[in-house]
Structure 1
Amino acid sequence: MYEMRLRALAKINLGLDVIRRREDGYHEVKMIMQTIRLYDRITIKKTKNQKIQVKTNLFYLPENENNLVYKAAKLLMDEFQIQQGVQIDLQKFIPVAAGMAGGSSDAAAVLYGMNRMFRLGLSTEELMQRGVKIGADVPYCIMRGTALAEGIGEELTELMPAPECKVLIAKPPISVSTKFVYENLRLDENTKHPDIDLLVQDIERGSLKDMAAHMGNVLESVTIPNYPVIAEIKEQMINDGALNAMMSGSGPTVFGLFEDKEKAEYAYHRMREGNLAKQVYLTEIYNNRR
């Protein structure tokens, strides 16, 4: 196998709660991760030298060991003493640094592709064990689908597939630092925590409307006061027919869930024509396993 073409799929958080700050500085979370059909394209080619070469379509992305796809390739090349090199072409479409695990999904795709290309024989579980060395979201991006994530995000439980629906994605022209969000998160008796267990029950019953109604992201308590455009995008999506809208991860991307295709398309065009969002996509829930 000389060449592989892969799709690295984005994720959204249907629910995100932070339980506590741990003594090691990490935050203990409880969240529901969901893959969507928005993806980056990755091509991996074998080369005769032992180098890892990375090319991207975005000038501001690193093309060296600071890119997660490079780290993923190097991890397996070092462990299995692979004598050939690889050329990785990364075409980015998932918004960067936007709470959608784009970089982690790219790394997951490279691990999956290298495993097949070089016939390493690693199981999905074994790939996930290696993925966590690159980032907390990488094991989930290998697993895909609907999952409950606990611990620092690495403890994964596969859930029933979430109800199918249209998903509108809108990223405003701002950057939000994950570090800033977590450092400014205040967990006290006034914190409004989403009910993740109730969300799991909604998903298991296949109720899209209940799932949408019970979505929640505790990190919005930090981002929305600092970046009001996130609330404006949520409000517009709901006014245009979304069952609900919410920020994904630490933001700033907002997603809206739509039961009706026509309403979703109307909301998509309205968002594209406005000035709230820089990147706008209309996609859907992804539930098939790789």
Structure 2
Amino acid sequence: MLELKARAKVNLSLDVTGKRADGYHFLRMVMQSVDIYDTLTFMRSKKPGIHLKTNVPSLVDEKKNLVWRAADLLMKRFQIREGVDITLTKRIPAAAGLAGGSADAAVALQGVSRLFGLNLSVQELCEYGVGLGADVPFCIVGGTALCEGVGEKITTLPPLPSCWIVLAKPTVGVSTPYAYRRLDEIGDYPHPDVESQVAAIRVGDLAGVIAAMGNVLEEVAAPEVPAIGQIEDYLRQNGAMAAMMSGSGSTVFGIFSEKEDAQKACDGLELNGLAKDVFLTVPFQEQEEHA
């Protein structure tokens, strides 16, 4: 049996710079893995096909489930005749802007590659992954990275300076297709300074990273989900150096320098009911897994 962790991410910045003729958006974003994860287990099966079990019944639809689609992609491409049993244990909330589905797809590609001895490189896995979603290549690479194009161009960056991160997802989620469609309708919006943020990460300047934070999708998501702004205000008022929506939302994350302040903010959010799901976590780097 093979067991792997599929880690969530937050967007330290997210900019949309254009749109291709096929509808895919050109992105420029800095992403950071965090230590909140789903767990996937893989076992070979004599019964052909993909046999998926999960603790979330709504995710068993084969056509919609990214784990099934990722496994099916490689098994068809490499003509694998055996079957695979996959068990997905979800912890990352759905429709949250945390790349839960993308992280699961990334690990499904890695798991099938390892289980059946395909020995695919990170680059090869990313090439398969980008067809499943813009965040999948980053979720394969992990850590801290600048992601460009439609998600396929990845530049790894030094680790984010030490900090604590509070994740808080409101009861209402945000549909990713809806967020991008509304952004297209707006047309003109302020863009984050991604270059400055990358430069700050390279020199370990957390204050500089925070100063350059920005997410263009918050322009369209926040008016639809008032709790986004309310959670941001709460986090800032309770010790966060910064607070912003991640991805297409609706999860808000706050960055704290002190664990005690971060824990108090978590406790407060759980008490006041602003968020449905609340987590206290830290930035995660892949090399930590092997330390």
Q: TM-score per shorter chain, which class?
A: over 0.9
1:63: Cα distance to partner?
Answer: 4.2
Give the RMSD, CA atoms, in angstroms: 1.3
Residue in 1 aligned with 2:277?
279
**Cα 1:114/1:24, change in 2 over 3 Å:** closer
Q: Distance in 2 between matches of 1:17 and 1:215?
A: 10
1:15-30 maps to which residues of 2 (within 5 A)? 15-30=13-28
1:185-200 maps to which residues of 2 (within 5 A)? 185=183, 186-188=186-188, 191-200=189-198
1:58: Cα distance to partner?
Answer: 1.2
1:90: Cα distance to partner?
Answer: 0.5
Choose which of 174, 177, 185 in structure 2 pairs with 1:176: 174
* Preserved CA contact (<8 Å) 1:47 1:84: yes
The worse-fitting range, judged by mean Cα deviation, of 136-145 and 179-188 is 179-188
Residue in 2 aligned with 1:214?
212
**Cα 1:247/1:52, change in 2 over 3 Å:** same
1:71: Cα distance to partner?
Answer: 1.0
Q: Distance in 2 between matches of 1:136 and 1:281?
A: 24
Matched, 1:127 2:128: no
Q: Distance in 2 between matches of 1:133 and 1:218?
A: 23
Q: Distance in 1 between matches of 2:22 and 2:112?
A: 33
Q: TM-score, with normalisation over the residues of structure 1? A: 0.95
Q: Give the count of matched residue pairs.
A: 286
Q: Distance in 2 between matches of 1:56 and 1:222?
A: 32
* Preserved CA contact (<8 Å) 1:53 1:63: no
Residue in 1 aligned with 2:96?
98
Q: Distance in 2 between matches of 1:25 and 1:74?
A: 24
Residue in 1 aligned with 2:114?
116
* Preserved CA contact (<8 Å) 1:50 1:85: yes
1:275: Cα distance to partner?
Answer: 1.1
* Preserved CA contact (<8 Å) 2:163 2:257: yes
Q: Distance in 1 between matches of 2:32 and 2:117?
A: 29
Q: TM-score, with normalisation over the residues of structure 2? A: 0.95
Structure 2 letter corresponding to 1:241:
G
More helix per residue: 2
Deviations 1:207-240 (A, max 9, x none): 1122122211111111112221100000001111
Q: Distance in 1 between matches of 2:98 and 2:231?
A: 17
Identity over aligned pairs, percent = 48
Deviations 1:228-254 (A, max 9, x none): 110000000111101101000110010
